[in-house]
Structure formats: structure tokens, C-alpha cells
Amino acid sequence: MRSIRTYNAISQKGLVLFPEAQYKVDSVVGEPDAIMLRSHNLHQETFTDSVKAIARCGAGVNNIPVEECTKQGIVVFNTPGANANAVKELVLGGMLLASRNLLDAASFSQLLDTNLESGEFNKKVEGGKKKFVGSELAGKTLGVIGLGAIGANIAHAALALGMKVVGYDPVLSVEAAWRLSSDVERADNLPSLLARCDYVTLHVPANEHTKNMLNAENLEQAKRGLVLLNFARGSVVEEAAVLAELESDRIAKYVCDFPSPALMDRDDVILLPHLGASTGEAEDNCAEMAARQLMDFLENGNIQNSVNFPNLRLERSEGYRITFANDNVPAVLSGVLALLSEMNINVIDMLNKSRGEVAYTILDVADQPTDELLAAIEAFEHVSHVNTF
Ligand SMILES: NC(=O)c1ccc[n+]([C@@H]2O[C@H](COP(=O)([O-])OP(=O)(O)OC[C@H]3O[C@@H](n4cnc5c(N)ncnc54)[C@H](O)[C@@H]3O)[C@@H](O)[C@H]2O)c1
Ligand SMILES: O=C(O)[C@H](O)COP(=O)(O)O
């Protein structure tokens, strides 16, 4: 029986995929094979030796000590794209909240005096609306910082709404570049993007490279009246610089999914409680994808959508499977293959890939691996986490 320790509210649609006869899945499991979570912070936790994998139902992995996991041979997964549509729709909502003064207009309507007779009441309605005159999105320019799953979705939706779109993503993957419309203009740097855009939205991961990527220096290049949207993470903008530019009216509105005390009680800031991925559809998608990835890893050793291990998947053939991780140094794989050859074990199929300092191998062999063979592989220098399936 394998066990999965869960944190946060994870959709049942994903959790029910684990067959009850083979998996125990709950929030109190003691020595889990794997952890499944959303935004719960794992940085202060220690992992028992039993933990082989962590699956983030979502995109951001800044709540997981990924480097430490790699050192411990723990494979960390996320679910790329599974919540992108939900975030896209909320960003569009954020743009409309800001451009049409919707929150103030709704509050105004809620507070209308119900004791007025109908003529007076309608006068108040019609008289009030001039306070909330907005502007349209069509014809305006949107800057998208980070053109991955979410950024590309938003860029395409904005183009469909008649906006011009400028994108900035110096580390864009080839796959993401293929998905992106050629109507998205490329900005070579942030100041040039900021200078051209009426709206700017951020969709980068939170890491040491993106910390304060919008800051006092580049925000002073922004076009006056900018609407800035942050549905990435609080850390990607320098909060004091945003507040200063709100004071100077260079930034007209800041729409942010990550409230902090300094941002509260301001008319020019719209705060949401980390709602980007909170739709039933996105929660289902993320949980299902995470559950499938975990099961494929725990049952077959396949790795899909890992953020720290190479991604590799080998269809099961006849025979038995051995997997192992190793430091990405020469002669490890050749050593293991030589050992199999010495033991007269036929390799049916094989995949090996490296990523940074770690490599991972899937070997399908004709004979059932003995404990002696597995121990001999584990005894190789640089090899760890030998498994058989
Ligand atoms: N508000 C929410 O609820 C919510 C929901 C989902 C994701 N997110 C956040 O949004 C982030 C992006 O999600 P995604 O699904 O689009 O991820 P993704 O990996 O598909 O896209 C991220 C993009 O950022 C780019 N990037 C990385 N470093 C960059 C840099 N220094 N400058 C410019 N571009 C850079 C990458 O090349 C990639 O194209 C997540 O990491 C997460 O933090 C928030
Ligand atoms: O990175 C993500 O996918 C989002 O921030 C969603 O986080 P959540 O699963 O806690 O809503």
C-alpha cells in the first residue's frame, strides 16, 4: 500500500483517481511515499526518507524547497497550464475592474437610498454614473511579462479584444514560442515595454531572478496612467516603488492577487485573496494532472512535468523495470550496464536523461531484478534511489 500526504483543499476529482486498494490518501499520513499540495509552505518542513515525490497542484513552486528536494532525490512536479485559463479570465476581470471603475460603481449602487421615490431614485442613478466613466481596452497596449502558459493565454485574449500586445520573456522556451501569436510584439527590455504600455501584467515564476523585477528604476520609465496587474507573486514587484508611483499617479491602478498591509485601504489598489486559480475547473484540472503524474512515477518510474528532475517516460514493455537517479558525472550509466552484462541480464529498453546536476535512468530488463542486483547498483558511486517496478 502506497501513501500520499495531502495539504490544502485538493479537488476530489484528483484524489479519487488513486485506487483505494493501493493508496492511502489523507492529510495525516505519517511516512508518505509522496506529498500532494497547493500553496502550503514546505520550506520549514523536514521530509521523512519515505518521501520520493512532491506534486504541486498548480504552477508556482516557490512554496517548496526545490533545491533541497533535488539533493534528497525527491522529484518535484507541478501542473503546467492546468490553471492558466482561470488566471487569464481573472486578469481580464482585473483589467475591466480597473478600467471601468467597477468596484466603486457597484458600491455606489448598493448605497442608493431606497426610500427615494422612483423619479428621484432614477435621477440619483443617472447622476451618479458620470463619476465612474471609464475607458475601453480596445486600442490600448498591454504588456505581458512572462509568456508561458498564462502569459500567452492573456496575450491571445487581449489581441482578440482589439488590444495591441507587447511581450517580454528573454528565457522563453522554444515550445512556448511556437504557441505564441506572431502578433505579439517583442520588447527587448522592461523599460521599453513599460514606456509603451497602458496595461502591464506579470506572469513569471517567483525566484531569485524575478525578485523585484519591477522596481524603482524601471517603473519610473512607465507610461503615465499605467494599470499594473500582478497575478504572479508579491515578490516580483518592489512594493515600495509601486506605492511611490501610485502616489505620483504614474501608476493609476495596481491590481494584485497578493494582499499586504501596505497595499490596503487605498482607492488606487484592488486586492484579491490569491484567487487566480480558484475555479472549480482549474482545481479539478490541477488535482487530476498531479495525481496522474504521481501515480505514473510511483508505479512506473516515469517523470512528467518535474521542475527539478529530467522529464522522461518509457512505455512499459514486457519484463521488469529498474530506475535510479545519479549525479550527472561520466561513467555511471556505462558502469551499471557493464554490471548487468556481467550478470547476464538482457536490457529490453532504456532511457537516460540529465538535467543540471542530476541524471535519471529507466532500464527495462528481461529478468526479475534480485535484491543483490539492486544493492549492487545502489553501491555504485554517485547512484541513489534505486527502484524496481
Ligand atoms: N494568482 C494565481 O493564483 C496564480 C495561478 C497560477 C500561476 N501563478 C503564478 O504565475 C506564474 C506563471 O505561471 P505559468 O503557468 O504561466 O508558468 P509558465 O512556466 O508556463 O510561464 C512562466 C514564463 O515566465 C518566463 N520567465 C521566467 N523567468 C523570467 C524572467 N526573468 N523574465 C521574463 N520572463 C521570465 C518563462 O520563460 C515562462 O515563459 C507561476 O509561477 C505562479 O507563480 C499564479
Ligand atoms: O501557482 C499557482 O498555481 C497558483 O498560485 C495557485 O495557487 P493555489 O493552488 O494555492 O490556488
User: What 3-state class would DSSP assign to 181?
Assistant: coil
State pLDDT tens for residues 314-346.
999 889 999 999 999 999 999 999 999 999 999
CATH of domain 1-83+279-309: 3.40.50.720
Say what percent of the chain tops pLDDT 90: 99
Residues near ligand 1 (Cβ within 6 A)? 58-60, 80, 83-84, 87, 145-151, 168-172, 176, 203-206, 209-210, 231-233, 257, 274, 276-277
Whether 59 lines ligand 2, by a CB cut-off of 6 Å, is yes
| Ligand 2 proximity of 38 Cβ (cutoff 6 Å) | yes
Which residue has its alpha carbon closest to ligand 2 atom 9? 38
- Looking at domain 84-271, its CATH architecture is 3-Layer(aba) Sandwich (3.40)
User: Does ligand 2 have an atom closer than 6 angstroms to the CB of 148?
Assistant: no
pLDDT tens readout for residues 62-76: 999 999 999 999 999
**Residues 23, 16: contact at Cβ < 8 Å?**
no
- Prediction ipTM score: 0.99
pTM of the model: 0.96
CATH architecture of the domain covering 314-389: 2-Layer Sandwich (3.30)
Backbone angle region of 224, left / alpha / beta, with phi > 0 → left and psi within -120 to 50 → alpha: beta
Percent of the chain exceeding pLDDT 70 equals 100
Under a CB-based contact definition with an 8 Å cutoff, are residues 353 and 311 in contact? Answer: yes
> In the structure, what pLDDT confidence band is assigned to residue 289 with cuts at 50, 70 and 90?
very high
356: left (phi over 0), alpha (psi -120 to 50) or beta: left
Atom number in ligand 1 closest to CA 277: 3
| pLDDT of the residue at 318 | 85
Span 293-321, average pLDDT? 96
Q: What pLDDT is recorded for position 94?
A: 98
pLDDT at 361: 97
Q: Which protein residue has the closest C-alpha to ligand 1 atom 19?
A: 148
Which of 91, 145, 169 to mutate to test ligand 1, by most ligand atoms within 8 A of the CB atom? 169
Supply the residue whose CA is at minimum distance from atom 18 of ligand 1: 148
What is the tens place of the pLDDT at every residue in 185-203?
999 999 999 999 999 999 9
Q: Where are the domains of the chain?
A: 1-83+279-309, 84-271, 314-389
- 92 φ, ψ (degrees, to nearest 5): -60, -40
Summary mean pLDDT of the chain: 97
What span, in angstroms and rounded, lies between the C-alpha atoms of 37 and 35? 7
State mean pLDDT over 255-269.
97
Distance 62 CA to ligand 2 centre (A): 10
CA 355 – ligand 2 centroid, Å: 25
For a pocket test of ligand 2, which of 6, 36, 37, 39 has the largest count of ligand atoms closer than 8 A to its C-beta?
A: 39
Q: Is 384 helix (H, G, I), strand (E, B) or coil?
A: strand
The residue-averaged pLDDT of 338-355 equals 95
Residue 9 C-alpha cell reads as 483543499
Q: What's the average model confidence in pLDDT over 196-221?
A: 98
pLDDT level of residue 184 (50, 70, 90 thresholds): very high
Find the 278 Cα to ligand 2 centroid distance in Å: 8
* Ligand 2 and 143: CB distance under 6 A: no
For the cut 90, the answer to whether the pLDDT of residue 224 exceeds it is: yes
DSSP 197-255: -SEEEE----STTTTT-B-HHHHTTSPTTEEEEE-S-GGGB-HHHHHHHHHTTSEEEEE
- Among 29, 27, 77, 86, which residue's Cα sits nearest to residue 57? 77
Q: Is the pLDDT of residue 271 over 90?
A: yes
Cβ(60) to ligand 2 under 6 A?
yes
Q: What are phi and psi of 134, to 5 degrees?
A: -115, -160
pLDDT score at 7: 97
Domain 1-83+279-309 and domain 84-271, same fold? Reply is yes
